[in-house]
Amino acid sequence: MMKWSELKPEAGILAALDHAGDRPETGNQNEKRRWSECFANGCAVAIADAFRNSALRNKTVLPTSLEGGTEPLTPLGSGTQKRIDVTVTDTVLGLEVGVSLKGLNFRDRSSGNFDKNLTGRMYELTDEVRLVHEHLPHAFMVGVFFLPLASVDDKTESASSFARTNIKLNERTGRLDPALAGHASRCDLTYVALYGTGDHAGVARGACRFQNTDTPPPKIGRPKIGQTLSLSETIDEIVAKATYTEDISWAEPEDV
Protein backbone atom coordinates (compact mmCIF):
# COMPACT_ATOMS: atom_id res chain seq x y z
CA MET A 1 0.00 0.00 0.00
CA MET A 2 1.30 3.45 -0.91
CA LYS A 3 2.59 5.63 1.92
CA TRP A 4 2.77 9.38 2.39
CA SER A 5 6.51 9.32 1.73
CA GLU A 6 5.82 8.01 -1.79
CA LEU A 7 3.39 10.74 -2.81
CA LYS A 8 4.30 13.21 -5.52
CA PRO A 9 3.16 16.83 -5.23
CA GLU A 10 -0.29 17.78 -6.53
CA ALA A 11 0.63 20.32 -9.21
CA GLY A 12 -2.20 22.72 -8.34
CA ILE A 13 -1.52 22.63 -4.59
CA LEU A 14 2.21 23.10 -5.17
CA ALA A 15 1.40 26.12 -7.34
CA ALA A 16 -0.80 27.48 -4.53
CA LEU A 17 2.07 27.13 -2.05
CA ASP A 18 4.41 28.89 -4.48
CA HIS A 19 1.86 31.68 -4.92
CA ALA A 20 1.57 32.13 -1.14
CA GLY A 21 5.35 32.24 -0.70
CA ASP A 22 7.36 31.50 2.44
CA ARG A 23 5.24 30.48 5.41
CA PRO A 24 5.38 33.13 8.18
CA GLU A 25 5.58 30.60 11.01
CA THR A 26 6.74 33.27 13.47
CA GLY A 27 4.91 36.15 11.80
CA ASN A 28 2.05 38.20 13.18
CA GLN A 29 -1.63 37.49 12.57
CA ASN A 30 -1.85 39.83 9.59
CA GLU A 31 1.06 38.08 7.87
CA LYS A 32 -0.45 34.67 8.52
CA ARG A 33 -3.87 35.86 7.31
CA ARG A 34 -2.38 37.21 4.06
CA TRP A 35 -0.50 33.96 3.49
CA SER A 36 -3.66 31.91 4.11
CA GLU A 37 -5.69 34.08 1.72
CA CYS A 38 -3.07 33.71 -1.03
CA PHE A 39 -2.90 29.95 -0.46
CA ALA A 40 -6.69 29.64 -0.53
CA ASN A 41 -6.87 31.61 -3.77
CA GLY A 42 -4.34 29.26 -5.34
CA CYS A 43 -6.22 26.20 -4.08
CA ALA A 44 -9.46 27.61 -5.53
CA VAL A 45 -7.83 27.80 -8.97
CA ALA A 46 -6.51 24.23 -8.61
CA ILE A 47 -9.98 22.92 -7.71
CA ALA A 48 -11.65 24.93 -10.48
CA ASP A 49 -9.15 23.56 -13.00
CA ALA A 50 -10.02 20.03 -11.85
CA PHE A 51 -13.72 20.76 -12.44
CA ARG A 52 -12.85 21.99 -15.93
CA ASN A 53 -11.34 18.56 -16.60
CA SER A 54 -14.39 16.71 -15.23
CA ALA A 55 -17.80 15.78 -16.59
CA LEU A 56 -18.90 19.37 -15.81
CA ARG A 57 -16.37 20.84 -18.23
CA ASN A 58 -19.17 22.44 -20.29
CA LYS A 59 -20.38 24.54 -17.35
CA THR A 60 -19.03 27.93 -16.31
CA VAL A 61 -16.37 27.33 -13.65
CA LEU A 62 -14.78 30.13 -11.63
CA PRO A 63 -12.13 31.18 -10.84
CA THR A 64 -10.31 30.87 -14.15
CA SER A 65 -7.03 32.27 -12.82
CA LEU A 66 -5.48 33.94 -9.79
CA GLU A 67 -6.14 37.30 -11.41
CA GLY A 68 -9.74 36.50 -12.37
CA GLY A 69 -11.15 35.57 -8.97
CA THR A 70 -14.74 34.54 -8.30
CA GLU A 71 -17.57 37.01 -8.72
CA PRO A 72 -19.66 37.56 -5.58
CA LEU A 73 -22.72 35.34 -5.67
CA THR A 74 -26.15 36.79 -4.89
CA PRO A 75 -28.60 33.91 -4.34
CA LEU A 76 -32.01 34.76 -5.78
CA GLY A 77 -34.07 36.76 -3.32
CA SER A 78 -31.41 36.99 -0.63
CA GLY A 79 -30.30 40.55 -1.29
CA THR A 80 -26.94 39.59 0.20
CA GLN A 81 -23.73 38.77 -1.63
CA LYS A 82 -21.46 35.88 -0.70
CA ARG A 83 -18.17 35.07 -2.33
CA ILE A 84 -18.04 31.30 -2.76
CA ASP A 85 -14.47 30.22 -3.54
CA VAL A 86 -15.29 27.87 -6.44
CA THR A 87 -18.52 27.96 -8.42
CA VAL A 88 -19.89 25.73 -11.17
CA THR A 89 -22.86 27.40 -12.83
CA ASP A 90 -25.27 26.70 -15.67
CA THR A 91 -26.83 29.40 -17.83
CA VAL A 92 -30.35 28.14 -17.09
CA LEU A 93 -30.04 26.37 -13.73
CA GLY A 94 -27.70 28.85 -12.04
CA LEU A 95 -25.37 27.60 -9.30
CA GLU A 96 -25.00 23.82 -9.51
CA VAL A 97 -21.93 23.24 -7.32
CA GLY A 98 -20.26 25.58 -4.84
CA VAL A 99 -17.07 24.84 -2.92
CA SER A 100 -16.16 26.83 0.18
CA LEU A 101 -12.53 26.63 1.28
CA LYS A 102 -11.36 27.12 4.85
CA GLY A 103 -7.94 26.67 6.35
CA LEU A 104 -6.19 26.26 9.70
CA ASN A 105 -2.66 26.72 8.44
CA PHE A 106 -0.64 27.73 11.50
CA ARG A 107 -0.11 26.50 15.04
CA ASP A 108 -1.47 28.48 17.96
CA ARG A 109 1.51 30.02 19.72
CA SER A 110 0.41 29.02 23.21
CA SER A 111 -0.95 25.51 22.64
CA GLY A 112 0.97 24.44 19.55
CA ASN A 113 -2.29 23.10 18.08
CA PHE A 114 -3.91 23.96 14.75
CA ASP A 115 -7.57 23.98 15.80
CA LYS A 116 -7.82 27.05 18.04
CA ASN A 117 -10.06 28.91 15.57
CA LEU A 118 -11.97 25.84 14.38
CA THR A 119 -15.32 26.94 15.84
CA GLY A 120 -15.15 30.31 14.11
CA ARG A 121 -14.33 28.71 10.77
CA MET A 122 -17.29 26.34 11.19
CA TYR A 123 -19.63 29.29 11.78
CA GLU A 124 -18.31 30.97 8.62
CA LEU A 125 -18.90 27.82 6.58
CA THR A 126 -22.41 27.13 7.86
CA ASP A 127 -23.42 30.78 7.31
CA GLU A 128 -22.28 30.63 3.68
CA VAL A 129 -24.04 27.34 3.04
CA ARG A 130 -27.24 28.45 4.78
CA LEU A 131 -27.50 31.61 2.66
CA VAL A 132 -27.12 29.65 -0.56
CA HIS A 133 -29.42 26.78 0.37
CA GLU A 134 -32.21 29.02 1.68
CA HIS A 135 -32.56 30.60 -1.78
CA LEU A 136 -31.08 27.89 -4.02
CA PRO A 137 -32.01 24.66 -2.21
CA HIS A 138 -30.82 22.38 -5.00
CA ALA A 139 -27.33 23.87 -5.18
CA PHE A 140 -24.76 21.24 -4.15
CA MET A 141 -22.48 22.78 -1.53
CA VAL A 142 -19.11 21.35 -0.54
CA GLY A 143 -16.83 22.38 2.33
CA VAL A 144 -13.07 21.76 2.26
CA PHE A 145 -10.76 22.45 5.21
CA PHE A 146 -7.04 22.63 4.43
CA LEU A 147 -4.63 21.57 7.17
CA PRO A 148 -0.85 21.07 7.14
CA LEU A 149 0.24 17.47 7.62
CA ALA A 150 1.64 18.41 11.04
CA SER A 151 -1.97 18.69 12.28
CA VAL A 152 -2.23 14.89 12.49
CA ASP A 153 0.06 14.66 15.53
CA ASP A 154 -0.11 18.09 17.18
CA LYS A 155 -1.59 16.52 20.34
CA THR A 156 -0.41 13.52 22.34
CA GLU A 157 -3.53 12.46 24.25
CA SER A 158 -6.68 14.07 22.85
CA ALA A 159 -7.75 13.86 19.21
CA SER A 160 -5.46 15.67 16.79
CA SER A 161 -6.58 18.86 15.04
CA PHE A 162 -7.01 16.82 11.86
CA ALA A 163 -9.26 14.28 13.62
CA ARG A 164 -11.28 16.96 15.42
CA THR A 165 -11.81 18.95 12.22
CA ASN A 166 -12.96 15.79 10.45
CA ILE A 167 -15.49 15.02 13.19
CA LYS A 168 -16.84 18.57 13.48
CA LEU A 169 -17.26 18.84 9.71
CA ASN A 170 -19.04 15.50 9.51
CA GLU A 171 -21.56 16.71 12.11
CA ARG A 172 -22.49 19.50 9.68
CA THR A 173 -22.73 17.38 6.55
CA GLY A 174 -25.60 15.69 4.75
CA ARG A 175 -29.12 16.82 3.89
CA LEU A 176 -31.99 14.36 3.96
CA ASP A 177 -34.06 16.56 1.66
CA PRO A 178 -33.34 19.97 0.07
CA ALA A 179 -36.83 21.03 1.15
CA LEU A 180 -35.95 20.73 4.86
CA ALA A 181 -35.31 24.27 6.10
CA GLY A 182 -33.52 22.92 9.17
CA HIS A 183 -30.84 21.41 6.92
CA ALA A 184 -30.08 24.60 4.97
CA SER A 185 -26.84 25.20 6.88
CA ARG A 186 -25.54 21.69 6.22
CA CYS A 187 -23.04 20.93 3.48
CA ASP A 188 -23.78 18.18 0.97
CA LEU A 189 -20.20 16.89 1.15
CA THR A 190 -17.15 17.85 3.21
CA TYR A 191 -13.46 17.02 3.09
CA VAL A 192 -10.32 17.66 5.09
CA ALA A 193 -7.34 18.26 2.81
CA LEU A 194 -3.93 17.44 4.31
CA TYR A 195 -0.98 19.02 2.52
CA GLY A 196 2.77 18.83 2.85
CA THR A 197 4.51 22.12 3.58
CA GLY A 198 8.00 20.81 2.93
CA ASP A 199 8.82 20.85 6.64
CA HIS A 200 7.48 17.36 7.36
CA ALA A 201 10.30 14.83 7.07
CA GLY A 202 9.90 12.47 4.13
CA VAL A 203 6.76 14.08 2.66
CA ALA A 204 7.00 16.17 -0.50
CA ARG A 205 6.02 19.83 -0.43
CA GLY A 206 2.67 20.07 -2.20
CA ALA A 207 1.70 16.44 -1.58
CA CYS A 208 -2.02 16.54 -0.74
CA ARG A 209 -4.77 14.05 0.06
CA PHE A 210 -8.45 14.69 0.66
CA GLN A 211 -10.41 12.72 3.25
CA ASN A 212 -14.18 12.53 2.94
CA THR A 213 -15.44 13.23 6.45
CA ASP A 214 -17.70 10.17 6.23
CA THR A 215 -14.46 8.19 6.65
CA PRO A 216 -13.43 7.83 10.32
CA PRO A 217 -10.06 9.49 10.96
CA PRO A 218 -7.29 8.08 13.16
CA LYS A 219 -7.34 9.78 16.58
CA ILE A 220 -3.67 10.64 16.19
CA GLY A 221 -1.51 10.14 13.11
CA ARG A 222 -1.81 10.21 9.34
CA PRO A 223 -4.77 8.59 7.59
CA LYS A 224 -3.91 5.68 5.33
CA ILE A 225 -3.49 6.71 1.71
CA GLY A 226 -6.12 4.14 0.70
CA GLN A 227 -8.71 5.99 2.81
CA THR A 228 -8.03 9.31 1.10
CA LEU A 229 -8.41 10.75 -2.39
CA SER A 230 -6.30 12.72 -4.83
CA LEU A 231 -7.61 16.07 -6.06
CA SER A 232 -8.95 14.59 -9.31
CA GLU A 233 -10.58 11.69 -7.44
CA THR A 234 -12.20 14.15 -5.05
CA ILE A 235 -13.67 16.19 -7.90
CA ASP A 236 -14.94 13.01 -9.58
CA GLU A 237 -16.66 12.04 -6.33
CA ILE A 238 -18.24 15.49 -5.96
CA VAL A 239 -19.48 15.46 -9.56
CA ALA A 240 -20.90 11.94 -9.18
CA LYS A 241 -22.79 12.93 -6.01
CA ALA A 242 -23.96 16.28 -7.38
CA THR A 243 -25.34 14.79 -10.60
CA TYR A 244 -26.73 11.54 -9.16
CA THR A 245 -30.28 10.65 -10.08
CA GLU A 246 -32.31 7.73 -8.82
CA ASP A 247 -32.83 4.88 -11.27
CA ILE A 248 -36.51 4.08 -11.71
CA SER A 249 -37.52 0.42 -11.78
CA TRP A 250 -40.60 -0.42 -13.85
CA ALA A 251 -42.84 -3.42 -13.25
CA GLU A 252 -44.13 -5.57 -16.08
CA PRO A 253 -47.77 -4.75 -16.99
CA GLU A 254 -50.57 -7.28 -16.92
CA ASP A 255 -50.83 -9.37 -20.05
CA VAL A 256 -53.84 -8.34 -22.17
Residue range 22-47, pLDDT digits in tens: 999 999 999 999 999 999 999 999 99
Q: Is the pLDDT of residue 151 over 70?
A: yes
CB within 8 A of 47, min separation 6: which ones? Answer: 12, 85, 86, 99, 101, 144, 231, 235
Task: Please report the pLDDT score of residue 249 as a whole number.
Answer: 81
Strands 94-103 and 208-212, how do they pair? unpaired
Three-state secondary-structure class, residue 11: helix
Question: pTM, whole model, 2 decimals?
Answer: 0.91
Domain limits at 151? 4-242
Q: Is the pLDDT of residue 79 over 80?
A: no
Q: In sequence order, what DSSP letters do the residues of 82-96 get, joined into one string?
A: B--SEEEEETTTEEE
Establish if 207 belongs to a structural domain.
Answer: yes
pLDDT band at 73 (very low <50, low <70, confident <90, very high): low
Q: Is the pLDDT of residue 122 over 90?
A: yes
Segment (H or E) for 51: helix 29-52
pLDDT band at 94 (very low <50, low <70, confident <90, very high): confident
Establish if 250 belongs to a structural domain.
Answer: no
Q: In sequence order, what DSSP letters do the residues of 139-201 get, joined into one string?
A: -EEEEEEEEEGGGGSS-SSSPPHHHHHHHHHHTTB--S-TT-GGGTTSBSEEEEEEE--S-ST
Establish if 252 belongs to a structural domain.
Answer: no
Task: Please report the pLDDT score of residue 77 as a whole number.
Answer: 53
Domain count, the chain: 1
Establish if 251 belongs to a structural domain.
Answer: no
Q: What average pLDDT does the segment 120-129 reach?
A: 94
Beta partners for residue 143, in sequence order = 100, 190
Establish if 193 belongs to a structural domain.
Answer: yes
Q: Are 238 and 219 in contact (CB under 8 A)?
A: no
Q: Is the pLDDT of residue 74 over 60?
A: no
Of 204, 211, 253, the C-alpha closest to 231 is 211
Q: What average pLDDT does the segment 186-211 reach?
A: 94
Query: How many Å apart are CA 117 and CA 105, to the nearest integer?
Result: 11
Establish if 43 belongs to a structural domain.
Answer: yes
In residues, how long is the chain? 256
Establish if 96 belongs to a structural domain.
Answer: yes
pLDDT band at 153 (very low <50, low <70, confident <90, very high): very high
Establish if 154 belongs to a structural domain.
Answer: yes
